[in-house]
C-alpha cells in the first residue's frame, strides 16, 4: 500500500516539481556553440544539407560543376578535410595542406563561454570529444596575425616561418584566428555560417506527465545558409561548358562602421573589431574560393596591407578602386588567375565636375575577363551606388554610366566577332522590384514625373509635400551617355542637345524637344488668354507619346536577370542581404546575361549564362535570431552573395 502511494502519488508529484524548477532555472532555447542564438526561427536542418557545400568545395577547381554523386554524409569535419585538400592546396603534401589550412578541430583554452553556467557536463559530452581531438593540433604562432593587426613586417609575414619552401600560411592564420575569436566548441564544419552545432538542453513532455522527462543532450545542426542547386535546368553538357562562381560581398568598411555607430548598437563589441571581422571575411573567401570576387566597402589601407597580399597568395589577381572624396573605402574585383586572363579594365568615377547631378563619390570597376578554357570573354562589373534614399536621380545616372561602360565592352567583343556575357554585381542601394531594379531587369524605365525617392524603394517619403521628380533629360548631354545607356558616337554628340549645332540654326528635333520639355508645359502666370489657343492643356495621351519619343524612357540593351529573388523559395519569406539597427533589406545583387528564350530550335543559339546554383540568403527573422548583423558567424552587415554560372562553349562563336 505504502509502495503504491509512493509510486502513483509521490513520484509523479516530485517529477512535476522538479520539472517546474528546471523551467525556472532555464528557458527552453537553443544554443549554438555556447551562445544562445535560436528561438525557433531560421532554417534548421539535418546533416544532409552539409553535403551541398561539400559538393561545391569538391567541385571548385573543375569546370564540371558539383558532382551529383557526391552524397558524402560522413562527419562534417572529415568531409571538409577531404574537399579542402582537393581544392586549396597547391604545394606540399596533402597532410601539410590540411595542417596549413587549419582544418583540424580547434580549441581555445581562453574561451570565456566554456563554463558550467552555460553547458552542463552532460550537454558537453559530445563537445569534449571534439575538443580532445582538436587540442594543440592547430598551427601556432602565426606571424601573419601581426601583420593583420597592422604591426607586422609586410609580405614576408605571409610565408610560413618554419617551412623550407615559401608555402603560404593563410590557413595557420585562419586556424589561429578562429580559435582566438571563437569560443571552444564553435566550429564551422563546412563553411562559414553553415551547419553549426546546436545544443537542445530540454525536450519536455507536458507537465504532469507520468513519464520521466527526457534529459536530452543531443546536438542538432542549424544550417543558416544552404546551397541551392539549379543544375537540373542546365541545357548544356558540363563537358561543353565553362562553369565559374561569382561572389558579391559588401564587407562593411571599418571607417564607415565607426562613423555610424548607431547602426550597430545591437552588436556585441567583439564582433565589430576589424581584426576579428577580417579573419572571418578571409575565412569565408577561403571556404568558397569563388572564381570572381566583387567586394564593396573595402577600406583602402586594409585592402592593400592586409587583404590583397592574402588574396594574391590564394591565386587571385586584384583590382581596386577607391571612392573619390574623403571616404576611405572603395570597390575591388579579384579573379582567379588560373581561370581567367584580363583583357581590359575600366575604373570609373561617378563624380563629374562638369555635371551638377553627378556630384557624389561612388565608383565602379568594369573589366573584361577571358576564361582560359572558353572562347568568349565575360564582362564583370562591380559597383556600390549612392546610398542616399532621396537621390534616385543620382543613382540612375551612376547606373547609366556603368551600363554604358559594359556596353562598350560588349560592342568591342561583337566587332571582333565574339559574344560577350555579362555579370553585374554590386550593392545598388535599391530594393527588388524598385524602379531601378526593374530597369535593370526589364531593360526599360518610363520615369516621367517619378519622385526621385521612389527610384530605389528604400524609404517611403510619400508624406512629404514637395517631391523632386524625374524629368527629361535625366542628365545633361555633355555626359555623353544616351537614354539607351550607351556612349554617344561622335556624330550623335554633335547632333544632340537643345542648343544649335552650328550656332545659327535650331534643328527641328531640338525645337520639338523644347516644346515638350517640362518647362514648356508650365503656363506662364501672365499668359494672355486666347480661347482655343492658350487655354488648352496638353492631352495626356499626346504627352505620353511625345515623352516616349523624346526621352522620357530609359533603355538598355543588355539582357540581365537577378540571381536572387525577392523571397526565399523555401519559406516564402522576404530574403534580405543587409541588416542594421535601421532595418533589413535586399540591396545586393548579381545580375547575369539571360539565356534568351526562343523556340526549341533556337534555344541552342540563345547565348546567355545559366545559373547552376546559389548560396541562399536569409530572412530578417533568421538574422535577428542570430542577434542581427554583424554577428559571430557573419562578419559584415551584409551577407555574401554567391552563384555558380555556366558559359556554354557552343555559344561562344555566336554573336
- Closer residue to ligand KL2 (CB): 105 or 297: 297
Q: Does 461 interact with ligand KL2 (rule: CB under 6 A)?
A: no
Q: Smallest gap, in angstroms, from Cβ of residue 429 to ligand KL2?
A: 5
Q: Find the shortest distance in angstroms from Cβ 360 to ligand KL2.
A: 9
Q: Which CB sits closer to ligand KL2, 296 or 376?
A: 296
Encode burial over 418-451: b for 16+ CB neighbours within 10 A, e otherwise. bbbbbbbbbbbbbbbebbbbebbbebebebbebb
Residue 256 or 375 having the CB closest to ligand KL2: 256
Q: Which lies closer to ligand KL2 via its Cβ, residue 263 or residue 498?
A: 263
**Which positions from 586 to 625 touch ligand KL2 by CB under 6 A, shown as an x/- string?**
-x--------------------------------------
578 contacts ligand KL2 (rule: CB under 6 A): yes
φ, ψ of residue 454 to 5 degrees: the values are: -75, -20
As measured in angstroms, the least distance from the Cβ of 356 to ligand KL2 is: 20
CA–CA dist 86, 82 (Å, integer) = 6
Residue 86 DSSP one-character state = H
| Location of C-alpha cell 560592342 | 411
How many residues interact with ligand KL2 (rule CB under 6 A)? 9
- Nearest approach, Cβ of residue 348 and ligand KL2 (Å): 16
Cβ distance to ligand KL2 smaller for residue 339 or 391 = 391
Q: How far is the CB of 582 from ligand KL2 (least distance, A)?
A: 6
In degrees, to the nearest 5, what angle opens at C-alpha 350 toward C-alphas 345 and 355?
A: 135
The DSSP symbol for 430 reads -
Q: Is 260 in the site for ligand KL2 (CB under 6 A)?
A: yes
Select 235 or 263, whichever has its Cβ closest to ligand KL2: 263
The 367-406 site mask, x for binding ligand KL2 (CB under 6 A), equals: --------------------x-------------------
Residue 291 interacting with ligand KL2 (CB under 6 A): no
User: Between 237 and 582, whose beta carbon lies closer to ligand KL2?
Assistant: 582
Which C-beta is closer to ligand KL2: that of 58 or that of 296?
296
CB of 304 to ligand KL2, least distance (A): 20
Contact 448, 471 (CB under 8 A): yes
Nearer to ligand KL2, 108 or 329 (CB): 329
Nearest distance in Å: CB 394, ligand KL2: 12
In angstroms, rounded to a whole number, what is the distance separating the alpha carbons of residues 338 and 88? 13
Residues 522 to 561 in contact with ligand KL2, rule: CB under 6 A: none
Q: Is 195 exposed, middle or buried (0-12, 13-18, 19+ CB in 10 A)?
A: buried
Residue 567 backbone dihedrals phi, psi, to 5 degrees: -115, 150
Q: Could you count the other beta carbons within 10 Å of the beta carbon of residue 307?
A: 24
**Residues between 173 and 192 that touch ligand KL2 (CB under 6 A):** none
Q: Which of residues 226-255 bind ligand KL2 (CB under 6 A)?
A: 250
Question: CB 463 → ligand KL2: shortest distance, Å?
Answer: 19
- The CA distance from 274 to 302, in Å, is 9
- Separation between Cα atoms, residue 33 and residue 15, nearest integer Å: 29
Separation CA 159–CA 641 (nearest Å): 30
Q: Are 553 and 396 in contact (CB under 8 A)?
A: no
Q: How far is the CB of 250 from ligand KL2 (least distance, A)?
A: 5
Angle at 576 between CA 582 and CA 392, to 5 degrees: 65
Q: Does 324 bind ligand KL2 (CB under 6 A)?
A: no
Give min distance, CB of 339 to ligand KL2, in A: 29
- What are the residues facing 316 on neighbouring strands? 336
Distance CA 548, CA 543 (A): 8
Kindly provide the b/e burial profile for residues 467-505, where b requires at least 16 CB atoms within 10 angstroms of the residue's own CB: eebbbbbbbbbebbbbbbbbbbeeeeeeebbeeeeeeee
Kindly give the residue spans of alpha helices, DSSP state H, lying in 434-532: 435-442, 490-495, 508-516
Near ligand KL2 by CB under 6 A: residue from 255, 393, 427, 622:
427
Max Cα-Cα span within the chain: 120
In the complex, the smallest distance separating the C-beta of residue 324 from ligand KL2, rounded to whole angstroms, is 13
Q: Does 256 bind ligand KL2 (CB under 6 A)?
A: yes
* Sole window of 92-100, 256-264, 267-275, 418-426 interacting with ligand KL2 (rule: CB under 6 A): 256-264
Q: Which is nearer to ligand KL2, 250 or 289 (CB)?
A: 250
Query: Nearer Cβ to ligand KL2, position 182 or 588?
Result: 588
Nearby residues of 142 by Cβ (< 8 Å), 6 or more positions away = 169, 172, 173, 175, 176, 177
Q: Does 577 bind ligand KL2 (CB under 6 A)?
A: no
Of positions 254, 376, 429, 559, contacts ligand KL2 by CB under 6 A: 429
The residue among 287 and 578 lying less far from ligand KL2, judged by its C-beta, is 578
Q: How far is the CB of 383 from ligand KL2 (least distance, A)?
A: 11
Provide long-range contacts, Cβ within 8 A and 24+ apart, for 25-31. Answer: 26/201, 26/202, 28/201, 28/202, 28/204, 30/198, 30/199, 30/200, 30/220, 30/222, 31/118, 31/119, 31/198, 31/199, 31/201
The smaller minimum CB distance to ligand KL2, of residues 256 and 343, is found at 256
Q: Are 598 and 627 in contact (CB under 8 A)?
A: no
The residue sitting closest to ligand KL2, measured at its beta carbon, is 387
Measured distance CA(644)–CA(289) in Å, rounded: 12
Interface residues toward ligand KL2, by CB under 6 A: 250, 256, 260, 263, 387, 427, 429, 578, 587
Amino acid at each position: 500500500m505504502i509502495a503504491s502511494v509512493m509510486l502513483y502519488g509521490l513520484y509523479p508529484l516530485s517529477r512535476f516539481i522538479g520539472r517546474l524548477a528546471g523551467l525556472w532555472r532555464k528557458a527552453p532555447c537553443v544554443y549554438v556553440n555556447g551562445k544562445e542564438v535560436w528561438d525557433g526561427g531560421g532554417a534548421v536542418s539535418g546533416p544532409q544539407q552539409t553535403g551541398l557545400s561539400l559538393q561545391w568545395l569538391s567541385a571548385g577547381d573543375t569546370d564540371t560543376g558539383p558532382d551529383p554523386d557526391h552524397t558524402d554524409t560522413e562527419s562534417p569535419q572529415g568531409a571538409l578535410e577531404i574537399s579542402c585538400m582537393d581544392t586549396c592546396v597547391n604545394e606540399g603534401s596533402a597532410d601539410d595542406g590540411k595542417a596549413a589550412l587549419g582544418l583540424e578541430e580547434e580549441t581555445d583554452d581562453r574561451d570565456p563561454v566554456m563554463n558550467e553556467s552555460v553547458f552542463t557536463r552532460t550537454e558537453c559530452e559530445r563537445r569534449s570529444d571534439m575538443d580532445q581531438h582538436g587540442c594543440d593540433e592547430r598551427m601556432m604562432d602565426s606571424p601573419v596575425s601581426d601583420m593583420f593587426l597592422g604591426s607586422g613586417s609586410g609580405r614576408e609575414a605571409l610565408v610560413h616561418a618554419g617551412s623550407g619552401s615559401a608555402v603560404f600560411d593563410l590557413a595557420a592564420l585562419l586556424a589561429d584566428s578562429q580559435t582566438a575569436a571563437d569560443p571552444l566548441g564553435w566550429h564551422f564544419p563546412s563553411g562559414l555560417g553553415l551547419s553549426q552545432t546546436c545544443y537542445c538542453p530540454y525536450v519536455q513532455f507536458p507537465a504532469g506527465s507520468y513519464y520521466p522527462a527526457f534529459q536530452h543532450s543531443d546536438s542538432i545542426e542549424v544550417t543558416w545558409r544552404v546551397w541551392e542547386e539549379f543544375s537540373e535546368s542546365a541545357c548544356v553538357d558540363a563537358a561543353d561548358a565553362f562553369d565559374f562562381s561569382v561572389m558579391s560581398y559588401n564587407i562593411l568598411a571599418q571607417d564607415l562602421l565607426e562613423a555610424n555607430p548607431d547602426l550597430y548598437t545591437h552588436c556585441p563589441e567583439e564582433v565589430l573589431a576589424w581584426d576579428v571581422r577580417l579573419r572571418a571575411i578571409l575565412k569565408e573567401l577561403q571556404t568558397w574560393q569563388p572564381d570572381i570576387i566583387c567586394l564593396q566597402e573595402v577600406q583602402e589601407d586594409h585592402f592593400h596591407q592586409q587583404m590583397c597580399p592574402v588574396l594574391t597568395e590564394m591565386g587571385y589577381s586584384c583590382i581596386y578602386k577607391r571612392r573619390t572624396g574623403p571616404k576611405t573605402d572603395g570597390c575591388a574585383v579579384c579573379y582567379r588567375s588560373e581561370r581567367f586572363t584580363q583583357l581590359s579594365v575600366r575604373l570609373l568615377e561617378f563624380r563629374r565636375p562638369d555635371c551638377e547631378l553627378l556630384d557624389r563619390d561612388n565608383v565602379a570597376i568594369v573589366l573584361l575577363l577571358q576564361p582560359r578554357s572558353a572562347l568568349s570573354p565575360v564582362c564583370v562589373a562591380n559597383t556600390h551606388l549612392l546610398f542616399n534614399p532621396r537621390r534616385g536621380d543620382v543613382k540612375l545616372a551612376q547606373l547609366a554610366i556603368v551600363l554604358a561602360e559594359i556596353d562598350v565592352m560588349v560592342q568591342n567583343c561583337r566587332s571582333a566577332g565574339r559574344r560577350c556575357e555579362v555579370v553585374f554585381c554590386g550593392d545598388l542601394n535599391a530594393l527588388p522590384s524598385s524602379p531601378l531594379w526593374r530597369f535593370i531587369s526589364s531593360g526599360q524605365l518610363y520615369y516621367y514625373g517619378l519622385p526621385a525617392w521612389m527610384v530605389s524603394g528604400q524609404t517611403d517619403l510619400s508624406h512629404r509635400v514637395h517631391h523632386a521628380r524625374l524629368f527629361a533629360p535625366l542628365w545633361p548631354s555633355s555626359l555623353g551617355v544616351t537614354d539607351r545607356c550607351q556612349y554617344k558616337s561622335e556624330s550623335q554628340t554633335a547632333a544632340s542637345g537643345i542648343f544649335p549645332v552650328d550656332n545659327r540654326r535650331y534643328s527641328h528635333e531640338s525645337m520639338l524637344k523644347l516644346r515638350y520639355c517640362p518647362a514648356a508645359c508650365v503656363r506662364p502666370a501672365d499668359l494672355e488668354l486666347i480661347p482655343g489657343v492658350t487655354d488648352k492643356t496638353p492631352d495626356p495621351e499626346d504627352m505620353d507619346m511625345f515623352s516616349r519619343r523624346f526621352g522620357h524612357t530609359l533603355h538598355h540593351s543588355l539582357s540581365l536577370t537577378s540571381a536572387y529573388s525577392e523571397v526565399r523559395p523555401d519559406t516564402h519569406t522576404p530574403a534580405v542581404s543587409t541588416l542594421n539597427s535601421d532595418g533589413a533589406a535586399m540591396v545586393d545583387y548579381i545580375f547575369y546575361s539571360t539565356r534568351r528564350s526562343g523556340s526549341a530550335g533556337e534555344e541552342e543559339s540563345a547565348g546567355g549564362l545559366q545559373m547552376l546554383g546559389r548560396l541562399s540568403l536569409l530572412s530578417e527573422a533568421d538574422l535577428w535570431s542570430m542577434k542581427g548583423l554583424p554577428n559571430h558567424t557573419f562578419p559584415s552587415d551584409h551577407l555574401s552573395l554567391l552563384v555558380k554560372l555556366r558559359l556554354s562553349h557552343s555559344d561562344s562563336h555566336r554573336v
